[in-house]
Chain A
């Protein structure tokens, strides 16, 4: 039986998930993810046409609280755990490419 997903699809999914894979990993993951999806095909044995999907075990009700000031996490303590900060902010590498 052919794999339910192709090597190219795995490469695309890795890109979406911000992961880079070696050629060997691509082969391995294509095979392994294919096995899981193949196993999942047993769900097609059920007629689920009129079944409602459950995303959560107990229907979630939106939780609100009164809009009052209360202590939050200490900013310095939070920033102390970041890879790079400056003036109370997180620092990231450049987002835009070089100007043409």
Chain B
């Protein structure tokens, strides 16, 4: 499978065409989508029209964009005008958004070809895609295992060579965790770097759209396309898209790297070994490493599972059977709201809505939500102190390699623990990348996590590239 950068170059040079690249992608989707359940919707018609448009530009000798003719998969919580967008929930089944997310507009302008919408845990709440109302996605590397989540479909699309790159969203690890479990590069950008306009809200102060790719260069290329200020998102950072691709090969010479105890302890031995080997590689490349402890990170999970549900309970109040999506008829409006929400939401979404409603309710607000917000402050301060000493941090992305279906579904707390290493970055609004590095006993990939302060994506890509080169050596 060609990388996105290779496809764009070939299409622009006329060595290939966007239509041919699309057909290759669609053939791969047809070959395995029934087995893996990656796409909830494939937009053959729209994709063909966009591919033809790209080929027409190339034929006229014009620049068709940095992602010219590159097929891309879109997580189904991202609105694309006229294309069914479900959030893998029955409550939005059949809904076609009347507008496109800014990310979609930027992808189309860069010549990318959106192939379809990928499966996820309902409303992005989960770590395995087992919470999708339409059935789970299987891990292409071992179909008896989960691909991770919530962006499991977008990860699987790339891992199964259906598309070279895809779009996910990361609220507590929903890009980095599936990237680790599927052997991909996955980026959680700085909060506000990528516009959230058209991303269906789960937890607005934590949600961020980001890329999946097989290579660091593809991930940087895609992020550069989708990043940058957008007036349609009031939380969007004010500056234009940063220069990332230009820094991919900057290396790590002279960099100070923090090895964070709390982002490694509790991981399986094979994961710890991979992190240690990654540190050797970074040292060989000229970085110095220092052991750090950031005890505040241990409280991240607790704070997150109050803050995210609290925001979700408010964001998901809009699904009331009035303006869009499902309606279950009842005698009066209140009964209709209740019947609609009861039928439309799955168990995990209900759990989080109730948890959030409880945490925000009179008498408990200070004890739970208020306390969690203070922990969030402590976490931001703790990260900030660490970044006075070091340039970036290294840890594991996940405690283990991809797990089996059903392993964690009966115990929500066990599932939540899959995100223990990824959550702190979201709470702090900072940047992190998961990069594949080695594999475990079962041959399944392991992800190493690189974490940096806000707007540090360029240096994280440089470090990820150093690991990528070492990992590809025989």
Contact = CB atoms under 8 A, between A and B. Distances in A.
A77 to B, nearest CB: 4
Interface stretch (B4-12, B338-346, B389-397): B338-346
Main secondary structure of the interface of B (DSSP, over half): helix
A13 B375 contact: no
Contacts of B429: 56-58
Which of A21, A63, A77, A83 has the most chain B CB atoms closer than 10 A to its own CB? A83
A86 interface: no
Contacts of B55: none
Given A55-B205, A58-B429, A90-B323, A19 B373 contact: no
Interface string A1-40: 0000100011001101111110001000100110111011
Given A19-B353, A53-B370, A73-B99, A36 B412 contact: yes
B192 A58 contact: yes
A81 interface: yes
A14 B355 CA distance: 10
Contacts of B377: 51-54
Contact of B354 (A14, A45, A77, A97): A14
Contact of B327 (A46, A57, A84): A84
A47 B375 CA distance: 10
B197 interface: no
Interface in B104-129: none
Given A37-B368, A54-B373, A54-B380, A13 B341 contact: no
Contacts of B335: 93
Given A19-B345, A83-B322, A57 B234 contact: no
Nearest to A33: B355
Give the interface residue-count category, chain A: 35 or more
A42 B371 CA distance: 11
Nearest to B379: A54
A39 B94 CA distance: 38
Contacts of A51: 374, 377-378
A45 B299 CA distance: 10
B324 interface: yes
B442 to A, nearest CB: 29
Contacts of B192: 58
B191 A97 contact: no
Nearest to B430: A57
A99 interface: no
- Which of A33, A46, A54, A95 is the most central at the interface, judged by chain B CB atoms within 10 Å of its CB? A54
A42 to B, nearest CB: 5
Given A53-B370, A57-B205, A58-B192, A42 B354 contact: no
A13 B375 CA distance: 24
B370 A29 contact: no
A69 interface: no
B145 to A, nearest CB: 24
B370 A65 contact: no
A55 B231 CA distance: 22
B353 A36 contact: no
Nearest to A73: B98
Given A46-B378, A53-B377, A81-B98, A39 B302 contact: yes
A80 to B, nearest CB: 8
B330 interface: yes
Contacts of B354: 10, 13-14, 17, 19, 29, 33
B454 A58 contact: yes
B338 A19 contact: yes
B303 interface: yes
Interface in B353-377: 353-355, 357-358, 361, 368, 370-377
A81 B452 CA distance: 42
Contacts of B351: 29, 32-33
Nearest to A44: B371
B27 interface: no
Contacts of A39: 301-302, 305, 413
B331 A93 contact: yes
A36 B324 contact: no
Interface in A64-100: 65, 73-74, 77-78, 81-84, 90, 92-95, 97
B295 to A, nearest CB: 9
A41 B413 CA distance: 14
Given A18-B337, A29-B354, A57-B428, 5 more contacts: A18-B334, A20-B339, A33-B351, A92-B322, A92-B333
12 contacts: A13-B361, A18-B341, A19-B354, A32-B412, A33-B351, A39-B301, A44-B371, A60-B234, A78-B98, A81-B96, A81-B324, A94-B333
